[in-house]
Amino acid sequence: MNLSLPPILVLLVFPGGLFLIASGLIYQWADRKLVARFQNRIGPRFIQPLADTLKLLAKEEITPVGVHKGLFFALPVIALAAALTAGLYVPLSGFRPAASFRGDLIIALYALSVLTLTMGLAGANTISRFSLVGATRTLTQLFSYEAPFLLSLLGPAIAAGTWQISEINTYAGQNLWLIIAQPIGFLVALIGLMGKLELPPFDAPEAETEIVAGAMTEYSGRGFALFRLGKDVELIIGLTLVSAFYLGGLGNPLEFVLKTLALLLVLALLQTAFARLRIDQTVGLWWRAGALLAVVQLIAIVLGRNLGTIF
């Protein structure tokens, strides 16, 4: 499907900007609700994420002693901006991406990494000991999941023969679902997404029983709200990317909702099923299992393609 809207609306209202933030909040609610139901609880009301965000925005923002003031204020803005930028290149709600060019997959993933980087920097900017440990863990985790996640998204890209998200999406829609063709890649992408979103069991960077809120400990009010919004947007973009690549593409809004929610269901199940991994276990898992699996999948794809051209 295609929509032609004036660029300013595309950026601020749909599909970027407000719509992206709103759907991010809705998906955050869906995630919390599903986790609660898996744990036999009731879970939050529909309005809860919005109420949380408004409350945080209305609250006083405390600037702690010892931070670089400019960075402290700029980092949350950069974080949300990076996440929103990434949103422009993905087929949100099944429409064609707002912007598209060759190699935008790399840009989108890079923008999402910027979000994590800013969180790491935000932690390192303060003198709080919880934040510093959290920042170290955030960045350590970034280096561990990034490569396998990228490799797992490269699989569909190689299969489609392009590095443009919209074209991979079209390719995935026209061919056999890639989850069947590349099951290992899907698994790595799913777990990689959990690592990227710092969801349990990969939530060592913000393990509350050890380091309170990790890198975010010193943030309150507006800054914290923006970081949270950034995370919500990251969640929806991650879900869109993985379901577009592996679950047969996203052609229309209905398909988008069904596929991303199905993916979220699996994500919520995995969140509740495990104990938190220590950061050394996380890194070990990624480099020993994740990266290896992703490489095996890539080799299989390359071999398959080459053999295909021979025969």
Q: Comparing C-alpha atoms, which of 141, 143, 155, 153 is closest to residue 197?
A: 141
Output the CA–CA distances (angstroms, integers) from residue 271 to 94, 158, 201, 267, 276, in the order listed. Answer: 26, 30, 6, 6, 9
Q: Least distance to other proteins from the beta carbon of 139, Å? A: 13
x-or-dash string of contact with other proteins, 263-282, rule CB under 8 A: ------x--xxxxxxxxxx-
Give CA–CA dist 205/279, Å, rounded.
Answer: 8
Other residues' Cβ atoms within 10 Å of the Cβ of residue 122: 29
Q: Least distance to other proteins from the beta carbon of 280, Å? A: 7
Q: Which of 104, 146, 198, 203 binds other proteins (CB under 8 A)?
A: 203
Q: Are the CB atoms for 160 and 273 separated by under 8 Å?
A: no
Nearer to other proteins, 17 or 43 (CB): 43
Q: Least distance to other proteins from the beta carbon of 4, Å? A: 41
- The 10 Å CB-count burial string (b at 16+, else e) for 154-180 is bbbbbbbebbbbbbbbbbbbeeeebbe
Q: Which stretch binds other proteins (CB under 8 A): 49-57, 170-178, 202-210, 236-244?
A: 202-210
Q: Which of 60, 65, 70, 209 binds other proteins (CB under 8 A)?
A: 209
Q: Are the CB atoms for 43 and 37 separated by under 8 Å?
A: yes
Nearer to other proteins, 16 or 120 (CB): 120
By CB under 8 A, is residue 143 in contact with other proteins? no
Q: Which of 4, 8, 42, 307 binds other proteins (CB under 8 A)?
A: 42
Residues at the interface with other proteins (CB under 8 A): 34, 36-43, 129-130, 133, 136, 200-201, 203-204, 207-212, 269, 272-281
